Structure 1
Amino acid sequence: MRKTLLLLVPVLLSACTYGITLDDAAKNVRTAWGGDVSGCRDMGKVTVSVQDHIGPVDRNNITVRDELEVLARNQAAELHADTIKPLADPTDGSQPWGAYQCGARPVGPAARPPVAPNNSNSPAPAGKAQTFPVHSG
């Protein structure tokens, strides 16, 4: 029984991202990580959520954040927005995002901010490597 449980935990955790994919329309939605959207038209706010833990096991923080971004981009596309910006850090697997119509206007730096290690809200030290989601398509 113990070996079976140990083998099932990685399988269950890896299956969590199944079904969260970027819609075709959302491929044109950019993420303004800290960029200025003051010249853009506010199209509304979306709040998205995913499972941030399975039972007593916390999911990988980067995976949760990537899934939240994908869901926010999908929702923004339904609002006919072309840009999203996080309004707050994720909390308990939920995160609010602003949706904007910026057109061809650049929205500032596109680099994603460093992500703190799992279960921590403090930013990563400067000069550390950043990770970015890989989107199949």
Structure 2
Amino acid sequence: MALNYSYKLKSLIAVLGLAQLALAGPTLSVRHTDASPNVNVCTGAVGVGCILVPVSSDSCINFTGGLSFLNKEVSVAVIPDGLACTFFSQFGCLSAPGGFDEVVLTGGTWSFFDVPGANSDVNFNDLSSSFICTPV
């Protein structure tokens, strides 16, 4: 008899545990271990004065603190496929009306001497103070 009671008790605990998981609903999540993508930003040609900057979606990165050597010095950026990164001449990922002080770059290697601007290709070399990336 004790064996039957023990079996029923374990079954009840298992059912209650499953019910608790079901009630958790949207708060139950699976943690992904995917690393953040990195943008390679350089003060010279690729491989010269470069640093890999980890980016997360829609987070502004200012060239201050440990990145201050990049402020108004960026000449090349290598952007992973699947990202669009906007580089700004101001801190805080801010732009003047008209967007003439920013450039939007998608996946690839870009020389800032000739990048797509608001109306035509522009020389954005040594102008960047911040950038932000979003998935495309």
Higher relative contact order, structure no. (Cα contacts within 8 Å, ≥ 6 residues apart): 1
Answer yes or no: same fold by TM over 0.5: no
Q: Normalized per residue, which structure has more strand?
A: 2
TM-score using structure 2 length: 0.26
- Structure number with bigger Rg: 2
